């Protein structure tokens, strides 16, 4: 007998059953083997109190600390989710164990940015890459493979028990026809029962599963299994397993209400739930056979009892789960015994109505019928309960839609003046089944002794419409997909009259209740006068008492709707009177992606709340459904209702007036931009929330996408447009954007032409600082084709935010782009000569080039490259690349770019600036520079439009290349290499883009306080809040990364140079476990030149570091910690690198501080007095720093450090004088 914490031995037969022929039935057999025999002692984990074995893992806190409910497949609670009896995997596996027998296994894991795209981008609990989940891992197998995950032993479960979890499927399987199958099964006694099975193809993202084990009277275990087809490479993540309402009612004598009775345990139960076929009390006393003898129960275990199934097709058929198999939609067990071997009736074929009738019953006013129905797998399946008198059918109750994989209790009362029959009709929708079990007639249902003839009404002949067609009320037939598509197709408009838009005066208007619990939605009339101003009048849809056994929200759905356009919205009036525990919500179920998300939500306030709302549905393909959810306590006079439902601007061809307004400052709305509803990651219109102000006015609105928001779970957030009319000429779309944070993703602008795939017009990745930047893209002429546009925010990280403002569409092309990463296109650069420059990435390119680009630091990033090998570019031949004209916007401009030359025989690169037909060379590189990216820059002083031309000259090598990336033009003269005051940009200083380095990015901001990005309230350069600096918030250091790197460009070998900088720390001393370092990195490795431990309250401090290296090198500022959590900020400003000058030769001293409260006003003192004050302050500051202790630095090293290579390097910086008026040679 296996213990719950030990692996279960399996026979050799198991391995043979894992082959391609393995069926769902065999999977259940293997689940039984995996479960083993459940020992009587329960879990063997140590407990802190002396609970009896039957009180361990029984979903009841028997110990004061609830320690008896830990490591049970759940913990006693989740601090992240705020739910009890939950496993979010943040603190371990909660007792779940992998019991797989092959390399396909379950492991506890979290999202890995280094392997982005191979699994979920985040867990479900936290919504970031730091959260944990269970993950299946395996090399692709040539045969069908299954991974098994088993829970500890749990005790009995109540009939109300609900198990929910979230799962995420990824991998190459998303492009395959065969789909992996996730199953949840329960092992109890000597049987394994499947509780839930994943449906067919589903889109990306997290999906919820909900399973109901039913009443379990003995110990049991749960088993998750994922079966993947051969060579699928599927990965499945499992997270947030929650057990709700699974514990039995506690023992103890209660005082019962007028319509309640006592159970033997002492708890109270509604009288109509006695003798209903379900052990609601938990001790069986409500189903005591001695008390229920007068009830007529038919469990179909032997026959149909007194019920009669009408012959024909389809018909009610008596069967078991064992015989029917494990296809999606099939009941996995009966209700009577919760067993696969138990019998029930089902309708498994489509195309008609199956009918089941009772014997003739006497007239009565006290007859009731309880039955359990199973409607699963189809949104159109239905079950109706009627009574028939004089061959006339009277409908009493109807259930439509997919209720889930469970048996749902239904109860109807009959008050009939004459003899009658009960008629139960089932219609199976496509892909689903309808089943019933445990039909129970109350003692008031008395059979007529002489069985007078009560004929059933005729079903009539076949309908006028063929399969796949919908009948209009006028008699004509239309294609079924034209029903509820927001446009009337029938001549009388009847195809749109029962689609959810209604005042409820003439009926439910297409809404159907799909509740499975003790609340339901039903029509209700306002028969009593109501207070002035109420939104409810006449008939409306309200929450009522339901007959189901679950403790769940009331749910009602529309029929299948769609397709819809981007502006589609549902308007409705609502009313709720409830405690704060109650709520009313609108959810959208998208059957294409298999997702469901809440679009609107309001909580009870303890008083009445009502109003009229608009809920954005957005652009969706068909089919989708709108769902109403409500949870209120009806016994506490609570209520919830909706009325006056309409759908506005929903048909895709119905274009709203604002749809063409692409120019938008978002002050009064979103103009012609709309949310793409395919992801839970959304753009939010707001005024900042601590992220910064808008660009338009500094206090207005802008759009923000925050991947760190707790409610954000999707991979992308998209703004989309309606279809735009064809454009005959080019236009320029400009916009202002912000990408801020230590770990932020990608912002794309995309265009899709009619009949073509989506293309990227503009892209930017990684932090650009907490400042606004301008971006633009030229929209091409589209000829006769319409087009769509989209802004797309991708979650490549979780620490930061993106923002968008002031979008403007103007006539004509944009001109030369001032900043180009070549990720979207070549930015207008035009090649000429014998060999063309190519835009490519290393992962997809055809020409030899750098292994990674400079922008992203990955093989997927793009750059421009030209092959300089003798076969491509013979010796002396030129491949040229010319930019579009740049317009001078300042007396001096800085042209900067990054280049890389192959290690052997790359040829030479010449860079020229051309104005009015006259050009001047500003850079020439011909020697080998290694395989690193180097920065070139030049100051341009031009009095008219100018262009830059890059010329690659062949040198006759074998496989040489020259590459370019990240071209940037900014106002002002270029600073010295590795020197920066950070007022205009970051001057080539950057953070490592490769996520495999597990490092975070430095930010760039002004001194304006931002809640989300703290830092000094003034910079060092100008001493005001308007000055800029780079900064890093150390609180993000932890499991997601332990360092933050700020890297310079490559610098030439230095015999004696000096690095000066100003730094600011605000780290509490008691949390000072981190430090700021200056590191020198070359081909020989790294060495630390300087470091300072974390501190606070000292203002801006200066640092000076001697730099020596015989080879090319980089300078790196690094913030690191040895433990976390850590709090505080580090900032840098006024970095100055002096090549060829020692720190001691400088006349400046490193000692003056700038206190946090200093002001620019102090600088208006006379020149002579200012010099005296600065000298005194410098001397005093130097003494103070000496007393406090200087930051540590290693001893000065010799002029020839060991191990450094001798890489040649040339200074790229050239000042260009104004262009002469007449021609000039080079």
Q: Which long-range contacts (CB under 8 A, 24 or more apart) does 1006-1015 make?
A: 1006/770, 1006/771, 1008/692, 1008/693, 1010/690, 1010/691, 1010/692, 1010/770, 1011/689, 1011/690, 1012/689, 1012/690, 1012/691, 1012/801, 1013/691, 1013/692, 1013/740, 1013/741, 1013/770, 1014/1066, 1014/1129, 1015/1064, 1015/1129, 1015/1131
pLDDT range class, residue 372, cuts 50, 70, 90: very high
Helices (H) and strands (E) in the chain, counts: 4, 69
Give mean pLDDT, residues 663-686. 90
Q: Which residues pair with 1189 in a beta bridge?
A: none
Condensed to tens digits (0 to 9), the pLDDT of residues 287-306 reads 999 999 999 999 999 999 99
Sign of CA dihedral 555, 561, 564, 570: negative
Q: Does the pLDDT of residue 941 top 50, yes or no?
A: yes
Query: Where does the pLDDT of residue 1171 fall: very low under 50, low under 70, confident under 90, or very high at 90 and above?
Result: very low
- Tens-place pLDDT, residues 104-136: 899 999 876 555 456 687 888 888 777 899 999
Name every residue whose Cβ is closer than 8 Å to that of residue 1002 and which is 6 or more positions away in sequence.
742, 767, 991, 1030, 1031, 1032, 1044, 1045, 1046, 1117, 1132
What does the pLDDT read at residue 1168?
42
Q: What is the pLDDT of residue 664?
A: 96
pLDDT digits (tens, 9 = 90+) for 211-226: 999 999 999 999 999 9
| Confidence tier at 995 by pLDDT (50, 70, 90) | low
pLDDT of 1175 > 70? The answer is no
Per-residue pLDDT, averaged over 634-661, amounts to: 92
Higher-confidence position of 1175 and 201: 201
State what percent of residues in the chain have pLDDT above 90: 57
Q: Does residue 324 sit in helix, strand or coil?
A: helix
Residue 254 pLDDT level (bands cut at 50, 70, 90):
confident
Residue 914 confidence (pLDDT)? 92
Contact 628, 642 (CB under 8 A): yes
HSE toward the beta carbon, residue 891, CA cutoff 13 A: 1
| Of 150-159, 671-680, 946-955, minimum mean pLDDT range | 671-680
- Is-contact 837 899, C-beta < 8 A? no
pLDDT of residue 711: 58
Place of tokens 């974390």: 1094
What are 419-469's pLDDT values in tens digits? 999 999 999 988 889 999 999 999 999 998 876 666 788 776 556 788 788
Least confident of 8-12, 372-376, 779-783, 801-805: 8-12
List residues bridging with 506 in a β-sheet: none
**Residue in the structure block whose two tokens are 């009612």:** 249
State whether residue 339 is helix, strand or coil: coil
Q: Which of the four pLDDT bands, split at 50, 70 and 90, describes residue 1144? A: confident
- Nearest Cα neighbor of 232 from 189, 298, 182 is 182
Report the mean per-residue pLDDT for the chain.
84
**Whether the Cβ atoms of residue 928 and residue 868 lie closer than 8 Å to each other:** no
pLDDT at 284: 94
Residue 1185 or residue 762, greater confidence: 762
Q: How far apart are CA 898 and CA 439, in angstroms?
A: 78
Residue 1214 has pLDDT above 60, yes or no: no
Residue 710: its pLDDT value, please?
A: 60
Q: Which residues have CB under 8 Å from 983's CB, separation 6+?
A: 1021, 1022, 1027, 1028
Nearest to 701, CA basis, from 657, 735, 670 = 670
pLDDT at res. 36: 38
Among 701-715, 831-845, 865-879, the range with the most confident prediction by mean pLDDT is 865-879
The predicted model gives 917-933 an average pLDDT of: 81
- CB-side exposure of 1176: number of CA atoms within 13 Å? 6
| Res 977 pLDDT > 50 | yes
Rounded to whole angstroms, the Cα distance separating 487 from 485 reads 6
Residue 527, pLDDT score: 64
Q: Which three-class secondary structure state does DSSP give residue 964?
A: strand
Q: How far apart are CA 639 and CA 1131, in angstroms?
A: 55
CA distance 1056 to 1208: 16
What pLDDT was estimated at residue 800? 84
What was the pLDDT predicted at 1200?
32
Q: What is the mean pLDDT of residues 1176-1194?
A: 41
Q: With 70 as the cut, is the pLDDT of residue 519 above it?
A: yes
The better pLDDT of the pair 1078, 932 is held by: 1078
* Closest C-alpha among 447, 365, 440, 445 to residue 410: 440
**Residue (of 953, 967, 950, 965) closest to 880 by Cα position:** 950
pLDDT at 1197: 35
Query: What token pair was written down for 543?
Result: 């929450």
Cα-flanking dihedrals φ and ψ of residue 654, to 5°? -90, 95
Strands 1214-1216 and 934-940 come out as: parallel
3-state secondary structure (DSSP) of residue 982: coil
How many C-beta atoms lie closer than 10 Å to residue 1042's C-beta? Answer: 18
pLDDT band for position 233 (cuts 50, 70, 90): confident
Residue 831 near residue 758 (C-beta atoms within 8 A): no
Residue written as token pair 């049987």: 191
Percent of the chain with pLDDT over 70: 83
Check: CB of residue 1012 under 8 Å from CB of residue 952: no
Q: How confident is the model at residue 42 (pLDDT cuts 50, 70, 90)?
A: very low
- CA dist 359 and 367 (Å) reads 14
Mean pLDDT to the nearest integer, 804-831? 92
Mean pLDDT is lowest, of 39-48, 141-150, 608-617, 727-736, for 39-48
Structure tokens at 94: 């909660």
Q: Tally the residues of the chain.
A: 1226
Tell me which of 320 and 993 has the higher pLDDT. Answer: 320
Mean pLDDT on 1007-1036: 91
d(CA 442, CA 446): 9
509, β-bridge pairs = none
């Amino acid at each position: 007998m296996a213990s719950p914490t030990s692996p279960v031995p399996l026979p050799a037969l198991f391995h043979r059953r894992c082959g391609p022929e393995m069926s769902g039935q065999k999977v259940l057999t293997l689940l039984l083997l995996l479960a083993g025999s459940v020992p009587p002692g329960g879990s063997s984990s140590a407990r802190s109190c002396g609970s009896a074995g039957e009180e361990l893992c029984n979903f009841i806190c028997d110990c004061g600390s609830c320690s008896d409910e830990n490591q049970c497949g759940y913990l006693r609670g989740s601090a992240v989710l705020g739910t009890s009896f939950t496993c979010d995997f943040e603190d371990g596996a909660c007792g779940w164990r992998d019991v797989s027998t092959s390399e396909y296994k379950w492991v506890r894991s979290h999202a890995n940015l280094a392997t982005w795209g191979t699994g979920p981008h985040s867990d479900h609990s936290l919504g970031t890459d730091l959260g944990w989940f269970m993950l299946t891992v395996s090399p692709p197998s040539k045969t069908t493979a299954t991974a098994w995950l088993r829970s500890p032993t749990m005790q009995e479960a109540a009939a109300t028990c609900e198990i929910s979890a979230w799962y995420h499927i990824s991998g190459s399987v998303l492009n395959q026809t065969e789909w992996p199958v996730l199953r949840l099964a329960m092992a109890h006694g000597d049987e394994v029962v499947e509780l839930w099975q994943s449906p067919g193809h589903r889109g990306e993202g997290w999906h919820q599963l909900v399973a109901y084990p039913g009443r379990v009277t003995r110990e049991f275990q749960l088993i998750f299994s994922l079966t993947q087809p051969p060579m699928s490479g599927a990965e499945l993540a499992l997270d947030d397993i929650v057990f709700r309402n699974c514990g039995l009612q506690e023992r103890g004598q209660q005082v019962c209400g007028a319509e309640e009775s006592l159970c033997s345990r002492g708890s109270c139960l509604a009288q109509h739930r006695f003798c209903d076929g379900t052990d609601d009390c938990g001790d069986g006393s409500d189903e005591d056979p001695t008390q229920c003898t007068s009830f007529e129960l038919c469990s179909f275990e032997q026959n149909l009892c007194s019920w009669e199934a009408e012959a024909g097709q389809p018909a009610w058929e008596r069967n078991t789960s064992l015989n029917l198999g494990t296809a999606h939609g099939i009941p996995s067990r009966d209700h009577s015994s919760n067993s696969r071997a138990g019998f029930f009736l089902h309708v498994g074929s489509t195309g008609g109505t199956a009918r089941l009738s009772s014997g003739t019953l006497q007239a009565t006013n006290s007859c009731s019928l309880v039955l359990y129905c199973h409607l699963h797998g189809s949104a159109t399946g239905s079950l109706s309960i009627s009574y028939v008198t004089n061959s006339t059918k009277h409908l009493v109750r109807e259930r439509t839609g997919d209720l889930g994989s469970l048996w749902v209790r239904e109860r109807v009362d009959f008050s009939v003046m004459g003899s009658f029959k009960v008629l139960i009709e089932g219609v199976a929708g496509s892909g689903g089944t309808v089943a019933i079990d445990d039909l129970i007639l109350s003692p008031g249902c008395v059979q007529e002794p002489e069985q007078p003839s009560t004929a059933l009404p005729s079903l009539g002949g076949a309908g006028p419409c063929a399969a796949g067609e919908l009948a209009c009320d006028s008699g004509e037939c239309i294609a079924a997909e034209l029903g509820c598509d927001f446009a009337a197709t029938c001549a009388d408009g009847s195809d749109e009259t029962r689609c959810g838009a209604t005042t409820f005066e003439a009926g439910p208007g297409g809404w159907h209740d799909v509740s499975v619990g003790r609340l339901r939605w039903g029509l209700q009339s306002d028969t009593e006068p109501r207070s002035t101003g109420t939104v409810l009048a006449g008939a409306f849809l309200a929450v009522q008492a339901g007959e189901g056994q679950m403790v769940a929200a009331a749910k009602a759905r529309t029929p299948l709707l769609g397709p819809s356009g981007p502006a589609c919205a549902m308007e409705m009036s609502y009313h709720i009177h409830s405690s704060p525990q109650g709520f009313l919500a609108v959810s959208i179920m998208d059957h294409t992606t298999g997702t469901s998300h809440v679009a609107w939500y309001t909580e009870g306030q303890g008083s009445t709340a009502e109003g009229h709302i608009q809920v954005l549905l957005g652009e969706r393909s068909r089919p989708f459904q709108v769902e109403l959810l409500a949870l209120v306590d009806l016994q506490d006079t609570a209520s919830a209702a909706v009325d006056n439902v309409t759908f506005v601007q929903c048909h895709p061809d119905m274009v709203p007036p604002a749809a063409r307004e692409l120019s938008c400052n978002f002050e009064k709305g979103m103009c012609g931009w709309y949310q793409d509803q395919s992801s839970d990651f959304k753009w939010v219109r707001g005024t900042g929330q601590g992220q910064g102000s808008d660009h338009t006015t500094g206090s207005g609105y802008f759009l923000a996408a925050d991947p760190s928001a707790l409610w954000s779970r999707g991979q992308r957030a998209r703004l989309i447009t309606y279809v735009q009319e064809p454009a005959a000429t080019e236009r320029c779309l400009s916009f202002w954007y912000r990408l801020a944070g230590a770990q932020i993703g990608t912002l794309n602008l995309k265009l899709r032409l009619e009949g073509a795939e989506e293309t990227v017009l503009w892209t930017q990745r990684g932090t650009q600082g907490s400042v606004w930047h301008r971006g633009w893209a030229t929209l091409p002429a589209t000829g006769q084709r319409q087009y769509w546009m989209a802004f797309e925010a991708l979650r490549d990280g979780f620490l930061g935010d993106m923002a968008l403002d002031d979008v403007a569409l103007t006539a004509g092309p944009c001109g030369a782009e001032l900043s180009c990463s070549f990720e979207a296109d070549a930015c207008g650069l035009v090649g000429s000569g014998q060999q063309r420059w190519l835009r490519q990435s290393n992962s997809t390119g055809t020409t030899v080039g750098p292994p990674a680009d400079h922008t992203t630091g990955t093989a997927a990033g793009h750059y421009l490259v030209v092959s300089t090998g003798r076969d491509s570019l013979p010796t002396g031949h030129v491949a040229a690349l010319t930019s579009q004209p740049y317009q001078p916007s300042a007396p001096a401009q800085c042209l900067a770019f990054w280049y890389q030359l192959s290690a052997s025989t790359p040829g030479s690169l010449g860079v020229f600036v051309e104005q009015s037909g006259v050009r001047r060379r500003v850079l020439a590189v011909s020697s080998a520079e290694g395989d690193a990216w180097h920065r070139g820059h030049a100051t341009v002083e031009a009095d008219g439009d100018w262009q830059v031309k890059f010329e690659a000259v062949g040198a006759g090598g074998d496989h040489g290349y020259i590459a370019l990336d990240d071209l940037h033009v900014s106002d002002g003269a270029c600073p010295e290499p590795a020197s920066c005051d950070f007022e205009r940009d970051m001057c080539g200083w950057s953070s490592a883009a490769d996520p495999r380095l597990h490092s975070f990015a430095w930010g760039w901001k002004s001194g304006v306080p931002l809640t989300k990005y703290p830092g000094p309230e003034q910079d060092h350069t100008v001493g005001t809040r308007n000055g800029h600096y780079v900064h890093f918030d150390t609180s993000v250091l932890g499991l997601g990364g332990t360092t933050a790197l700020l890297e310079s460009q490559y610098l030439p070998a230095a015999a004696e140079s000096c690095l000066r900088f100003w730094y600011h720390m605000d780290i509490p001393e008691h949390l000072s476990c981190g430090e700021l370092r200056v590191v020198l990195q070359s081909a020989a490795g790294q060495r630390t030149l300087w470091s300072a431990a974390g501190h606070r309250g000292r203002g801006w401090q200066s640092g000076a570091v001697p730099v020596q290296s015989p080879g090319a090198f980089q300078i790196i500022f690094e913030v690191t910690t040895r433990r976390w959590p850590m709090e505080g900020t580090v900032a840098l400003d006024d970095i100055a690198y002096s090549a060829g000058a020692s720190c001691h030769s400088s006349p400046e001293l490193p000692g003056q501080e700038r206190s946090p409260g200093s002001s620019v006003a102090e600088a208006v003192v006379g020149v002579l007095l200012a010099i005296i004050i600065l000298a005194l302050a410098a001397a005093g500051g130097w003494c103070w720093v000496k007393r406090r202790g200087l930051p540590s630095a290693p001893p000065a090293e010799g002029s020839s450090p060991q191990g450094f290579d001798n890489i040649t390097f040339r200074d790229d910086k050239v000042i260009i004088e104004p262009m002469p008026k007449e021609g000039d040679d080079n």
